[in-house]
Amino acid sequence: MNDVQKSSDDLARDERGLLYNPGARASMSAFALDGDTLALEAVAALRSALQAVDRLRARGAGNRGLSTGALDVLMRLGVAPDEGVTVGELARAGGVSSRNVTGLVDTLERDGLAARVPDRQDRRAVRVQITPRGRTWLDDFRLPARRAMESLFRGVEPDDVAALRHLCLSLVENQRRVERYLEGGGATGRVVG
């Protein structure tokens, strides 16, 4: 496809009026089968979109030193039951390792936004709770975050936002299916679903 219309510094529109990145297309052509770069370009676009969202989230966090991961954990704690949740539960909910979450909880605890507390049901276990300071932090974050998301999705129809959500989660489902296949001793070469 040739560039039909220039959209911004690094984006263009194809003959259907859809955005694409000519630089990403050129880079991906070396990896494409039969010259079809669409899926590879989509992944590059997804990564660019994620980076854009993370930049807006950092701005919304007021550059108060919370990483995206720590912010995600704090947001999960903000809706957790009063007794808190375990590190394992946080890890499963976030799709990351318990070790990763432990470091994020350490950061939140150091900043006074979360606290580890004994589990009332199991004296060997520890739960994590949001602190009053953490709730205040989230309250202060809520309005800038809402404004950032409104700006990011300005001009995008709700049906398109729902379709984007669906497509992203379809990729997650496919990735999980591939992982199960490979963990079950699937082929080491070509992956099929």
pLDDT tens profile 171-185? 989 988 998 888 887
Task: Please state, for a pLDDT cut of 90, what percent of the chain lies above it.
Answer: 39
Q: Are 95 and 77 in contact (CB under 8 A)?
A: no
Amino acid 103 reads: G
pLDDT grade for 64, boundaries at 50, 70 and 90: low
Q: Which helix (H) or strand (E) holds 12?
A: strand 12-13
**What DSSP letter does each residue of 85-129 carry, written as one string?**
B-HHHHHHHHTS-HHHHHHHHHHHHHTTSEEEEE-SS-TT-EEEE
- Could you give the angle at the alpha carbon of 75 between the alpha carbons of 64 and 107, nearest 5°? 50
Q: If pLDDT is split at 50, 70 and 90, which confidence band does 2 have?
A: very low
Per-residue DSSP letter, 42: H
Query: What is the domain partition of the chain in residue ranges?
Result: 1-60, 64-152, 156-183
pLDDT of residue 147: 84
Contact 107, 97 (CB under 8 A): no
Mean pLDDT score, 87-97: 90
Predicted confidence at residue 187, as pLDDT, reads 61
Give the tens place of pLDDT for each residue, 19-55: 999 988 888 888 887 888 888 899 989 998 888 887 7
Share above pLDDT 70 across residues of the chain, in percent, rounded to a whole number: 87
Q: How much is the pTM? A: 0.68
CA contacts within 13 A on the Cβ side of 81: 7
Q: pLDDT-derived band of residue 4, with 50, 70 and 90 as boundaries? A: very low
154 pLDDT higher than 50: yes
- The DSSP code for 36 is B
Q: Give the Cα separation of 110 and 114 in Å (integer).
A: 8
Looking at residue 1, its pLDDT comes to 41
Amino acid (one-letter) located at 189: G
CATH 1.10.10.10 fits 64-152, yes or no: yes
